[in-house]
Chain A
Amino acid sequence: GPGATFTRTGPRSRERQEAAFRESLNRHQYLNSLFPSENSSAVYGINQFSYLFPEEFKAIYLRSKPFAFPKYEAEVPEPIPMDGNIS
């Protein structure tokens, strides 16, 4: 369809939204439970995407194609000639 793929699946039932929301709550609890002592660590919780199942979220928002990029190689510094004068 013209929009994101999500519209292809048509409108979502209330039951489906509620099921997705419950799954999100469980996921948040798990994600927040693993490193509770790290005060600067990320916090996970309810936001605009909590009514979507992960596969629905991915189908709409995560559509950038990966590519293998060349490894960065810092310029190898010119060897200084033996007589010391640097061109």
Chain B
Amino acid sequence: LPLRFDWRDKHVVTLVRNQQACGGCWAFSVVGAVESAYAIKGKPLEDLSVQQVIDCSYSNYGCNGGSTLSALNWLNKTQVKLVRDSEYPFKAQNGLCHYFSDSHSGFSIKGYSVHDFSDQEDKMAKALLTFGPLVGIVDAVSWQDYLGGIIQHHCSSGEANHAVIITGFDKTGSTPYWIVRNSWGSSWGVDGYAHVKMGGNICGIADSVSAVFV
């Protein structure tokens, strides 16, 4: 494993987005992972539609909540092609699903994996290198007040409640940490990111980890 790795350095991670007052973190994290998976395969890096997942992922509740697992399962079962954000922009509230013809260009997934990597965060780091940015679910109650630095206390692995994307890790300092992309805008945290200590399953970051295959 390298001491430091961040998929942003490979220019395959889109900019931080802002879910505003919409409880759609689960959709932002899944779409972000699909965007990166395609970019890693050499496709242009571009924002895909989160609103499409919010409106159309019928086993979820849109801005009132959802699960990354249900969203990935929906994408995989229906083979829905995610369209560009410019075609189906985010509006921070639930709406009616827009359907597109099969000939309409878009980005579907070939599969996904879900694992509990708790006590195996080194394996999780290998998965990150192998598959690209990972979807994670954390307990983010204490993230309300986070300004920066490495989260290593006050963050239980109790009840996961917020979906994020893990884009890298940094083990060069005395405290190794995960580099975690959030969806609360770039003014929150470290340019929209959080740094969470590696090891010890801080915030439950290793409990529910998904990878997307395209």
13 A-B pairs besides A5-B64, A41-B175, A42-B152 with CB distance below 8 A are A3-B63, A6-B21, A31-B145, A44-B147, A49-B145, A58-B141, A61-B184, A62-B25, A65-B66, A67-B67, A70-B114, A72-B115, A72-B124
With A3-B92, A61-B184 already in contact, the answer to whether A38 and B65 are too (CB < 8 A) is: no
With A64-B68, A64-B160 already in contact, the answer to whether A7 and B145 are too (CB < 8 A) is: no
Report chain A residues within 8 Å CB of B67.
Answer: 64-67
Say whether A74 faces chain B, with CB atoms less than 8 Å apart. yes
Closest 3 CB pairs of A and B: A63-B23, A63-B65, A62-B161
| Bound Cα distance from A84 to B93, whole angstroms | 62
Say whether B146 faces chain A, with CB atoms less than 8 Å apart. yes
| Bound Cα distance from A5 to B62, whole angstroms | 11
| Bound Cα distance from A66 to B66, whole angstroms | 9
With A4-B63, A64-B65 already in contact, the answer to whether A42 and B120 are too (CB < 8 A) is: no
Contacting residues of chain A (13-53) with chain B, CB-CB under 8 angstroms: 24, 27-28, 31, 34-35, 38, 40-45, 47-50, 52
Q: Which of A2, A52, A64, A70 contacts B94 (CB 8 A)?
A: A2
Report chain B residues within 8 Å CB of A2.
Answer: 63, 93-95
Report chain B residues within 8 Å CB of A42.
Answer: 146-154, 195
| Bound Cα distance from A40 to B159, whole angstroms | 25
Q: What is the interface of chain A, defined by CB distance below 8 A to chain B?
A: 2-7, 24, 27-28, 31, 34-35, 38, 40-45, 47-50, 52, 54, 57-58, 60-72, 74
Q: Is B152 within 8 A of A41, CB to CB?
A: yes
Residue of A nearest to B124 (CB): A72
- Cβ of B124 to closest chain A Cβ, rounded Å: 8
Q: Is B65 within 8 A of A3, CB to CB?
A: no
Q: Is B174 within 8 A of A40, CB to CB?
A: yes
Binary interface encoding of chain B residues 156-175 relative to chain A, with 1 for a CB under 8 A from any of its CBs, else 0: 00011111000000000111
Q: Is A63 within 8 A of B116, CB to CB?
A: no
Q: Is B116 within 8 A of A61, CB to CB?
A: no
Report chain A residues within 8 Å CB of B162.
Answer: 61-64
With A5-B64, A66-B137, A71-B116 already in contact, the answer to whether A60 and B23 are too (CB < 8 A) is: yes
